[in-house]
Amino acid sequence: MKLKVVCEDANHFCDKKQYKESNFWEKGKLYFHLLYCKACRDYSNNNSKLSEFLDKNKIFTITKSEKEILQQRVQRFINSQSKN
Over the stretch 27-82, which tens digit does the pLDDT of each residue have?
999 999 999 999 999 999 999 999 888 888 887 889 999 999 999 999 999 999 88
DSSP state of 37: -
Predicted pLDDT at 61: 87
Predicted pLDDT at 2: 65
User: What's the burial of 37, exposed, middle or buried (CB within 10 Å: 0-12/13-18/19+)?
Assistant: middle
Domain ranges (residues) in the chain: 7-59
Contacts of 34 (CB under 8 A, 6+ apart): 10, 40, 41, 44
Per-residue pLDDT averaged across 14-39, rounded?
94
Q: How far is the C-alpha of 38 from the C-alpha of 1, rounded, in Å?
A: 23
Output the pTM of the full model.
Answer: 0.64
